[in-house]
Structure 1
C-alpha cells in the first residue's frame, strides 16, 4: 500500500468500534475518515466524506450492513466494502457478498489479518477470512456470489490438484509433504503457485475456489 487508504467504520458496539479505530489510526497508510453506529448514519456520513473502503458490521439497529451496502454500491459502485461478522452469521455473510461486499472478517480477527483484508480489498481482490468454516465456504459456493465468472478457465496439474485437495482438508505443508513424499519446501512452492493461479490469499480462498470449480466435493470436507 503506497498511498493512504481512506477508511470508514460502521458498528453499533462502541467499545469494539473505538478499539478498531484506535488500531487503524496508528497505521501510516490508513486515514480513518469517519465512524458510524448504524447503516443510516454510515450513508449520511458518506454523502459528505469520501472513502475508499468501508468496514461495516452486519447487524446494526436502524439499518443493517447488508441494506446499507446495497444502497451505497448503487450510489458508488467503486466503493469497496468489508463485512464484520460474528461466528454464527453465515447467512448474513453470504447476503453481504451477494450485495457486493469484497470480503469479510470475523470480529476476533487479529491485527495482521485486518490489515491484510484492507490491503487486498483495496487492490480489488476478494478477501475470505482465514477462519472460514466448511459450512460457510459451501454456502458461498451455492450463492449468487461468483468472482470467477469473468475469468478464463485455469488449469492445474494432477500434482497441484492433489495438493489443493489436501489444503482443503486442512493439512499443513509438512503433513502434505509426508503424505505425497515431497519436501515441505517443495509443497510450499506448489502452494504459492496454486494461490497465485487462483488469485486467493489463504486456505479459505482455496476452499471456495476448489468447490466453485469442482476440484473438491462438499462431502469431502465433512
Structure 2
C-alpha cells in the first residue's frame, strides 16, 4: 500500500527551513516528519523517525550535509537525499553526489521544481536542478558520480542527435524549429521522446547525459 512520501529537512537557516516546511505541508502525498538544524541533529532525528527523502543543506554547523549523507547512507542505503545548495557551491554539489545524494536543488528553485525533485528521487531517479550550469554538468561527468545506467542500449536518430545538441546549447523549441525547419510542436515531440530515452527530467539531465555519452563536447556548450 502506498503511503505519503515522508520527508525530513535539514538546514541551519531557520527562516528558509520554515518557509520550505510551510510550502511542503500543503502538498498532498508529502508528509514532513521532521526538521534538523545541522547534520548531527539530522542523524539523531533519523534514529527515531522514518524518512523516505531527506533535503539537506550542504553547509551546516557541527556536521555538514556531505558528512551526514555518507553516515546516513551507511546506516540506511535506501534513503534518498537531495542537496540544497547556493549557486556558487558547484564543487560541493559534486562531492555530495559522490557521497550518494540522488539530486540537488539551488535554494532559489521554485515550488514546482522542488516537488518534482522530491518525487523523482523517491522513485529512484537522479534529479539535476534546472539551473545547472555547463561547468557543473561537465564537473559531474568527470567526477566519480556514476549512477547505474537504466537504458544501456539507447540509440538516437541523426535528427534527435541534432536536437540534443541544440537543447544542450539552451535553444528554445521555437528557436530549434526555426534552425532546422520544423514546427515548434514537432520539436517538442522530439524533446519528449529524447527525455524518455535518456530517462531524465529536464534540460540539465539532457546535458549531463549528452556529455557523458559523447553526443556533445564541452567546447560546444560554451
| TM-score above 0.5, yes or no | yes
Cα distance per residue 1:120-164 (max 9 Å; x no partner): 111111000000000100000000111244641311000000000
Q: C-alpha distance in 2, partners of 1:211/1:147?
A: 14
Q: C-alpha distance in 1, partners of 2:26/2:149?
A: 38
Say if 2:176 and 2:187, in contact at 8 Å, map to a contact too: yes
Cα distance per residue 1:93-140 (max 9 Å; x no partner): 000001110000000000010001011111111000000000100000
Query: 1:64 corresponds to which residue?
Result: 64
Equivalent residue of 2:93, what SS? helix
Say if 2:151 and 2:198, in contact at 8 Å, map to a contact too: no
Task: Note the aligned Cα RMSD (angstroms).
Answer: 1.0
Cα distance per residue 1:77-97 (max 9 Å; x no partner): 000000000000000000000
Q: C-alpha distance in 2, partners of 1:69/1:9?
A: 13
Q: C-alpha distance in 2, partners of 1:153/1:65?
A: 35
Bigger mean CA deviation after superposition, 145-154 or 7-16: 145-154
Query: 1:74 corresponds to which residue?
Result: 74
Query: 1:20 corresponds to which residue?
Result: 20
Equivalence map 1:117-196=2 (5 Å)? 117-149=117-149, 151-196=151-196
Q: C-alpha distance in 1, partners of 2:27/2:149?
A: 35
Q: C-alpha distance in 2, partners of 1:149/1:120?
A: 16
Equivalent residue of 2:28, what SS? coil
Q: C-alpha distance in 2, partners of 1:20/1:60?
A: 17
Equivalent residue of 2:9, what SS? strand
The number of residues matched between the two structures is 221
Equivalent residue of 2:164, what SS? helix
Q: C-alpha distance in 2, partners of 1:164/1:200?
A: 13
Structure 1 segments of 4 or more deviating over 6 A? none
Say if 2:163 and 2:176, in contact at 8 Å, map to a contact too: yes
In structure 1, stretches of 5+ residues that fail to align are: none
Q: C-alpha distance in 2, partners of 1:148/1:36?
A: 30
Query: 2:34 corresponds to which residue?
Result: 34
Change (3 A) 1:190 1:148: farther
Query: 1:6 corresponds to which residue?
Result: 6
Q: Does 1:217 align with 2:217?
A: yes
Q: C-alpha distance in 2, partners of 1:91/1:149?
A: 23
